[in-house]
């Protein structure tokens, strides 16, 4: 490589930092959505880089389904304490208790869909005008059509067939009162980029990503964790297996994979050899071919 050229990972980092700074400059009250998963941890790391030595000039918000792995919450709280950032928790449980949303019933019941209305309500409550998230275009085909700056109307809806053209690196964040934006700083990263960056930057992650023993059972080809939030059917056998999670989300729909990968290097080797996408283990995406597109149109992240 030429003396004055960047590696692809350095270039992706520079692009993401540019997007995050642009959000902070163009919006009055932005927020970073934080799930405790690796993508949002990387986004937070990039945000720290973007404003160093000043503090990150916006809060983090966790849309909490109440169905979390305890490791995620412990990790989140430690990270917040260490960084001095401000955390807002938007609680799905609270919305259920207040009768604002109705919980799904049945064996495949999930609070994943309820996150959308809780998120939209929190955006209004805190007057956020831009919510940044760690979505990547390589994750899912509806996400492949996303802009860096993605406009949402006053119902929080996404109109994928009528998006603003996004030219060069000139982001148009202009909007009317009541509307907001979603911004996706790591749009151009792949799962492998994320892992290599975590390795290179020595970013800490929740223990769930690494191989461990856990009681799991199989449903529709996915290994689900036995938790208090999910009922097993009669024929489903709970076994203690050596597994890890490729993505971290709501405990009722995040699938585990059998894995011995105990370090970031092991995970990178595993990801390089794997033949299924990371969202292949997500029950929420399996509901239909356009499951993600439909959820995104309503305001999901």
Partner 1 sequence: MDSKTYLNMDLLRFTTAGSVDDGKSTLIGRLLYDSKSIFEDQMEAIERASEKTGESTVNLALLTDGLRAEREQGITIDVAYRYFATPKRKFIIADTPGHIQYTRNMITGASTANLAIILIDARHGIVEQTKRHSFIASLLGLPHIIYCVNKMDLVDYDQAVFEKIQSELRAFSSKLDTQDIRFIPISALKGDNVVNRSERMSWYEGSTLIHTLENVHIAGDENQIDCRFPVQYVVRPQTADFPDYRGYAGRVSGGVFKVGDEVMALPTGFTSKIKSIDSMGVEHQEAFPPMSVCMTLTDDIDISRGDMIVRVNNSPNAEQNIEVMLCWMGDKPLMPNGKYALKHTTKDARCLIKEIKYKVDINTLHRDENNLEIKMNDIARATLRTTTPLFIDRYTRNRRTGSLILVDEATNNTVAACIVI
Q: Is 9 helix (H, G, I), strand (E, B) or coil?
A: helix
Backbone angles phi, psi at 241, to 5 degrees: -130, 165
Distance in Å, CB of 9 to partner 1, minimum: 6
Residue 167 and residue 255: Cα distance in Å, rounded?
37
Name the one range near partner 1 by CB under 8 A: 6-14, 209-217, 224-232, 234-242. 6-14
Closest CB 112 distance from partner 1, rounded Å: 19
Task: Choose, by CB under 8 A, the member of 62, 76, 137, 180 that binds partner 1.
Answer: 137
d(CA 246, CA 160): 28
Residue 150 C-beta: closest distance to partner 1, Å = 12
Where do the H-state alpha helices sit in the chain?
Answer: 8-26, 38-51, 70-83, 92-97, 114-125, 191-201, 264-273, 291-298
| Stretch 267-296 residues interacting with partner 1 (CB under 8 A) | 268, 272, 274-277, 280, 289-290, 293
Q: What is the 3-state secondary structure (H, E, C) of 216-275?
A: EEEECCEEEECCCCCCCCCCCCCEEEEEEECCCCCCCCECEEECCCCCHHHHHHHHHHCC
Taking CB under 8 A as the criterion, the residue among 77, 174, 240, 258 binding partner 1 is 174
Each residue 10-29 as x (binds partner 1 by CB under 8 A) or -, in order, gives xxxxxx-xx--xx-xx----
* CA-based nearest residue to 245, from 229, 256, 230: 256
**Percent helix / strand / coil, the chain, rounded to 5:** 35, 15, 50
Question: Taking CB under 8 A as the rule, which mask of x and - marks residues 184-223 in contact with partner 1?
Answer: ---xx-x-xx--x--xx-----------------------
Nearer to partner 1, 64 or 138 (CB): 138
Q: What's the CA gap between 212 and 168, in Å, rounded? A: 44
What residues between 38 and 57 interact with partner 1 by CB under 8 A? 48-55
Task: Count the residues in the chain.
Answer: 301
Q: What dihedral do alpha carbons 232, 238, 241, 245 form, nearest 10°?
A: 0
Binding span for partner 1 by CB under 8 A among 32-40, 74-82, 97-105, 135-143: 135-143
**Binding to partner 1 by residue 9, rule CB under 8 A?**
yes
* Binding residue for partner 1, selected from 70, 169, 231, 240, defined by CB under 8 A: 169
Closest CB to partner 1 among residues 87, 268: 268
Interaction mask 74-113, partner 1, x per CB under 8 A:
----------------------------------------
Instruction: Name the phi and psi angles at 158, rounded to 5.
Output: -105, 135
- How many residues bind to partner 1 according to rule CB under 8 A? 69
Q: What is the CA radius of gyration of the chain?
A: 19
Write the DSSP symbol of residue 212.
E
Cβ(144)–Cβ(138) below 8 Å: yes
Could you give the CA distance from residue 301 to residue 47 in angstroms, rounded to a whole number?
Answer: 19
Among 6, 107, 124, 262, binds partner 1 (CB under 8 A): 6
Which positions lie near partner 1, rule CB under 8 A?
A: 1-2, 4-15, 17-18, 21-22, 24-25, 48-55, 137-138, 140-145, 160-161, 163-170, 172, 174-176, 187-188, 190, 192-193, 196, 199-200, 265, 268, 272, 274-277, 280, 289-290, 293
């Amino acid at each position: 490589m030429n003396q004055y050229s960047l590696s692809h990972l350095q270039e992706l980092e520079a692009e993401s930092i540019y997007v995050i700074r642009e959000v902070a400059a163009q919006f009055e009250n932005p927020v970073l959505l934080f799930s405790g998963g690796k993508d949002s941890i990387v986004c937070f790391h990039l945000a720290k880089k973007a404003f160093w030595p000043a503090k990150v000039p916006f809060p983090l918000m966790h849309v909490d389904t109440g169905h979390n792995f305890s490791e995620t919450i412990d990790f989140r709280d430690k990270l917040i304490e260490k960084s001095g950032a401000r955390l807002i928790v938007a609680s799905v449980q609270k919305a259920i208790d207040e009768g604002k949303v109705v919980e799904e019933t049945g064996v495949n019941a999930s609070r994943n869909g309820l996150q959308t209305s809780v998120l939209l309500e929190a955006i209004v409550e805190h007057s956020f005008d831009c919510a940044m998230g760690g979505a990547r275009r390589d994750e899912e085909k509806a996400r492949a059509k996303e802009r860096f700056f993605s406009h949402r109307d006053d119902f929080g809806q996404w109109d994928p067939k009528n998006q603003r053209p996004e030219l060069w690196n000139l982001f148009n964040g202009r909007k009317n009162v009541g509307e907001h934006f979603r911004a996706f700083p790591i749009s151009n990263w792949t799962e492998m980029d994320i892992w290599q960056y975590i390795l290179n930057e020595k970013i800490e992650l929740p223990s769930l990503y690494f191989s461990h023993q856990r009681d799991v059972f199989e449903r529709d080809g996915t290994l689900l964790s036995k938790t208090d939030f999910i009922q097993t059917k009669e024929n489903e056998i709970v076994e203690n297996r050596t597994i890890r999670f490729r993505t971290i989300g709501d405990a009722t729909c995040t699938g585990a994979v059998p894995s011995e990968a105990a370090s970031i290097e092991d995970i990178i080797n595993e990801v390089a050899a794997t033949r299924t996408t990371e969202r292949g283990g997500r029950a929420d995406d399996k509901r239909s071919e356009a499951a993600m597109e439909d959820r995104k149109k309503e305001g999901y992240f």
